[in-house]
Structure 1
Amino acid sequence: MPSDCISYQNSGYFSKLIIDYLNQKPELQSLYHRFPKIENFLPQIEEKTKNFSQENRQILVDSLFEQNKNFVLSEKSLENIELLKESTTFTITTGHQLNLFTGPLYFLYKIVSTINLSKELKVKYPTYDFVPVYWMATEDHDFEEINHFTFKNKKIKWDTSSKGPVGRLSTQGLDEVYEQFAKELGIGDNANYLKELFRKAYLEHDNLTEATRFLANELFKEEGLIIVDGDDLSLKKLFAPYVQKELVEQTSFQNVSESNKKLNEYDIQVNPREINLFYIEDNLRERIVYEKGKYIVNNTKIEFSKNEILTELKNHPEKFSPNVILRPLYQEIILPNLCYIGGGGEIAYWLQLKSNFESNNITFPILLLRNSVLLAFTKQVSKIDKLHLNWSDLFLKQQDLINKKAKELSNYNIDFTLQKEFLKQQFSTLNKIAQQTDKSFLGAVKAQEAKQIKGLENLEKRLLKAEKRVLADQLERITNIQNELFPNGGLQERKQNFSEFYIESGDELISKLLSELNPLDQNFSTLIV
């Protein structure tokens, strides 16, 4: 089995911004509060303690019990909810969309990272308690992103439509998806477990929020995971003063725009709007815009004067939903949170938000890139060994991998670097002679040097091409195993569903992730399942 590892920075799968963040580039340090090192959590605890009220704790606990009243929680989860009443308890949070049957694999990695960091912090700081939280993105509306998952290269899709917050969407019609998935799963104990898990989650619950809550709870309840739905009246009341500030002062637009100027060498993840709020009902989620002295709900006939919208906020705070700019602020207002764990895209937009937190006097959390994992079956690892591949080889772009292995497997030295260096040395002598004669001769020497080097490069390419034909069978086996592990040339964790691996490994899949992933490590994990 290959024993090498590859860092996130060298994997080729993260943006320049994330690489620079992981490398703690000085130019970025004003955009985050504390870097995710174990020693930085104590000052984060001390700051959050001063900035989170006991009243908010009690409202949060009451809300969590209400949200879970129809669910059977483990003793560990119930204990963790009770612990949130204490001023010495803090959360470690990740968030994710309500993807059908969890969507891509990284849903698991986010939550495992959150659970494992909570455990690691408890060991380091035993006088405090740390609760892992999964924040469900129940108020999102991009249904096309979440209405499917991939199982063994087949897309399992829920064909329906959604106009409002996805969490309120009825689960009607998912019986057809269940039948399709059950057929693909086949027979066996693990297949039967997955069928039952899907059936109970989606056919025994009325909406997508409750279905997702059941699913995440079943997968992780013994780890004490707490699942939070922000689409909640009690929690929205805590957020209402900040909603009012956004409506009246519109400061987040200015704050985030200023932060974006510091990121001008990077791709900006999100752009702020003048008002970063939606107005929501069961079948409605539209932006609030301010035009000609009126607050207008986009694409509707709904409009308010200033007094009217503030009255609406007072009477119905649940109808005001934060967009991607304000959702993190909402989360940190209602949770005694220390750290947010997310993927590269999420960390990128969080790096735009610190100034807006400061403007609202809310502690900015530590930002941690979630664990990334490459899962391989035993048979695949055996093939990798026989092909003399390292894990780092498999992360190469396929053409680079083919070229590298062709050169390694060839009986000839396909690298003409020595020949090119020798040629340059010869021309160096000619250049010295040419500099003492006519300038036209110097130009002729340089042109001939370029021509000779180019000729060697062409010969190198032709030899490599010829060797690829000779080694075609071996190179095909190499590309086949890479294609298995990196579907469509992308990361497995962004394509495949956990069920594909659960079929083979059962409960060991999640237990291995929990036992082997280190949330503060900056290397890709490779696990045999």
Structure 2
Amino acid sequence: MSSNVHYIPYGKTGYFNQLVIDFLGEHPNIRPFYSYSPLKPDFEAAIRAKQQQPMNRELLVSALQQQYAGLEQDTAVQNNISSLLQPGTFTVCTAHQPNIFTGYLYFVYKILQTVKLAGELKQQYPQYNFVPVYYMGSEDNDLDELGSIYLDGKTITWQTGQKGAVGRMRPEGLEALIEQVQYGIGYGEYAEELIALLKQAYLEQENIQDATLFLVNQLFGKYGLIVLVPDNPAFKKQLIPIMEEELWHHTSQGIVAKTIAQISQHYKVQANPREINLFYLAAGIRERIVKTGDKWEVLNTNLSFTAAELKKELHEHPERFSPNVILRGILQETILPNLAFIGGGGEIAYWLELKQLFAHHQVPFPILLLRNSFLFVDSASSERLQKLGLTATSLFEDTETLVNNFVQEHTNAALCLKEEYAAIEKLFDELEAKAKSIDITLVASNASERKKAVKSIGKLEHKFLKAEKKKFAWQTEQIWQLKQRLFPADSLQERKENFMPWYVKEGPAFFDRILAATIPVTDQFCIVVEE
């Protein structure tokens, strides 16, 4: 399928907040809170920093081999896992929760950006190896978000009474959802293959994290992508010293609070630290740990620990302790020989709070890269754009503004009353001069009348435009339909839609199209227009 690719700066889309724009622009208000430029990152410096960090590569490879045991592995995956034993191998990483059926479109974009970045780094630094990693946030318990997808204009939701970490939940009741998906995606060359894959993933695996591992491996294994599930005692064991400090000394709260106090002078804060930034994780439970008197309690349960009991629990069962958003990145960067983290605007915002916490724990702070964003314009919408004479980038304008601009551009009537405004201003300038010569107190009256006159001209201008828009009813409706189709619920397509409607038509070629348009280090939003 042939496509035209266009780019528009993130700052001109209207869909990204000022913190993200300033992050990309390295504004002085936010620049102190990250280590490397997001547009000209110094990968050599990141490599040197990571080489100084103690790294248990044998443990990482062993854990990954156990994780992948029984899974069909592409040779590229096997080679990448083995290469992690070598001190010259580094990772580039993205992270996301195990949303059912992958959740949002941007899940795919993040993964493919890590793949593209790893490939480009290998070309730039052939003496090293670079492995793309998807770090699964399987301990998240936000089922309201993770258990739904948007498909065919409807939200499909997994109804389950299970609680705790979503990754540990049993995939019960998902057969009915897969039937809804089958109906929602319709017919396509790859529809049957995709539904079979979903059934293998969600009806034959033990839990959601295993299902997600299976699905992502099947879809992206050929690119050498490694999926890492951190819900593993071996990985958590490496974090015990940091978790001890968190439980007994509450270090994170003080350090991050100071950073937040500085950031909040200019931006909205993304995440606030708690006294203890750890959850307790067990069957059906992921609840906060709080200190009450001389005991540590697990909220909403009957569980509590003395200091001795807690220390014993932590050392014998580190897998029962789950870092929240403040400590999650520390665990990631402790497990992996990682250079760069690719995240969305919200993820970048909370990472910006953590630089000093990383420094305190002597963990190198990674290069932060904003994930790529795409708008896919289907062939039918592309045809409408051409008939209307609109550009792909103009779609990011407010709908009403887009309609008004279209009418003003195509009408034969003089809807913009610039000459009339100028005439009014000239008249009242003359009247003001006369007022001053007669009685200076009349100047205020003149100013009041000027304001009324300008307002009246504005009302007439609005009525002229409104009347003229009726002559363009068909075009106006087409513009509104285009916007609703490409920006569902007035949101970016990638924050609402799922990858499956594209995949059923194109199969793996859809991913290759994304890869071709991906620029791993950029400040440009990508628009892909089908011909």
Query: Same fold by TM (over 0.5)?
Result: yes
Letter in 1 for 2:244: Q
Q: CA RMSD in A?
A: 1.6
Conserved in 1, the CA contact under 8 Å of 2:24 and 2:39? no
CA contact (8 A) 2:33 2:355 kept: yes
Q: Could you tell me whether the CA contact under 8 Å between 1:143 and 1:161 is conserved in 2?
A: no
Between the two proteins, the alignment pairs up a number of residues equal to 527
* Contact 2:5–2:526, Cα closer than 8 Å, also in 1: no
Question: How far off is 1:2 after superposition?
Answer: 7.7
CA gap of 1:47–1:425, structure 2 versus 1, over 3 A, is: farther
| Distance of 1:351 and 1:39 partners within structure 2 | 16
Q: Which amino acid aligns with 2:9?
A: S
The verdict on how the C-alpha distance between 1:87 and 1:422 changes in structure 2, with shifts beyond 3 A counting, is farther
> Which residue number in structure 1 is paired with residue 393 of structure 2?
392
2:12 equivalent to 1:13? no
2:449 counterpart letter in structure 1: Q
Q: For residues 167 and 3 of structure 1, do their structure 2 counterparts lie closer, same or farther at Cα, with a shift above 3 Å needed?
A: closer
Task: Between 338-347 and 303-312, report the one with greater CA deviation.
Answer: 303-312
Aligned position for 2:325: 324
For 1:200-279, list aligned pairs within 5 A: 200-264=200-264, 265-279=266-280
CA contact (8 A) 2:168 2:209 kept: yes
**Residue 2 of structure 1 contacts residue 391 of structure 1 at CA under 8 Å; is this kept in 2?**
no
Distance apart, 1:186 and its partner CA: 4.0
Unaligned segments of structure 1, at least 5 residues: none
Work out the CA distance in 2 between the residues paired with 1:388 and 1:466: 22
1:42 paired residue among 41, 44, 64: 44
For residues 502 and 164 of structure 1, do their structure 2 counterparts lie closer, same or farther at Cα, with a shift above 3 Å needed?
same
Deviations 1:114-134 (A, max 9, x none): 111111111111111111100
1:179-216: per-residue Cα shift (whole Å, max 9, x none)? 23223344443110111111111111111011000111
Matches within 5 A, 1:42-61: 42-53=44-55, 56-61=56-61
TM-score by length of 2: 0.96
Could you tell me which residue of structure 2 aligns to residue 178 of structure 1?
178
CA contact (8 A) 2:256 2:357 kept: yes
Indicate conservation of the 8 Å contact 1:47/1:363, yes or no. Answer: yes
Deviation at 1:474, TM superposition (A): 1.1
For 2:274 and 2:5, locate their aligned partners in 1 and report how far apart those are by CA, in whole Å: 48
Where does 1:453-464 land on structure 2 (aligned, <5 Å)?
453-464=454-465
Q: Deviations over 1:255-293 (max 9, x none)?
A: 111111112232111111000000011211110001112
The amino acid that maps onto 2:472 is L
Structure-1-length-normalised TM-score: 0.96
Q: Which amino acid aligns with 1:106?
A: Y
Against the structure 1 CA distance between its residues 419 and 235, is the aligned structure 2 distance closer, same or farther, given a 3 Å change threshold? same
Shift of residue 146, structure 1, vs aligned partner = 1.1
Q: Which amino acid in structure 1 is aligned with residue 96 of structure 2? A: H
Kindly indicate whether the alpha-carbon contact (under 8 Å) linking 1:9 and 1:22 is maintained by their aligned counterparts in 2.
no
* Aligned partner letter, 1:32: Y
Q: How does 1:120-199 map to 2 (within 5 A)?
A: 120-199=120-199
> What is the distance in 2 between the residues matched to 1:416 and 1:125?
60
SS at match of 1:27: coil
Counterparts in 2 of 1:360 and 1:433: CA distance versus 1, 3 Å:
farther
Q: Which moved more, 1:373-382 or 1:314-323?
A: 373-382
In the alignment, what sits opposite 1:289? 290
Match of 1:26 in 2: 28
Q: CA deviation at 1:487?
A: 0.9
Percent of paired sites with the same residue: 39
Higher alpha-carbon deviation: 473-482 or 432-441: 432-441
Distance 2:425 2:23 in 1: 40
CA shift in 2, pair 1:293/1:417, >3 Å: farther
The 8 Å contact of residues 60 and 336 in structure 2, kept in 1 or not, is answered as yes
Quote how far apart the aligned CAs of 1:3 are: 6.9
Q: Distance in 1 between matches of 2:398 and 2:340?
A: 33
**Offset, 1:371:** 0.5
* Conserved 8 A contact 1:115-1:225: yes
Q: Is the 8 A contact 1:141 1:162 kept in 2?
A: no
- In the aligned structure 1, how far is the partner of 2:309 from the partner of 2:41? 48
What corresponds to 1:355 in structure 2? 356
Q: Distance in 2 between matches of 1:2 and 1:406?
A: 26
1:119 matched to 2:81: no
Matched, 1:375 2:376: yes
Give, in whole Å, the separation in 2 of the partners of 1:182 and 1:123: 41
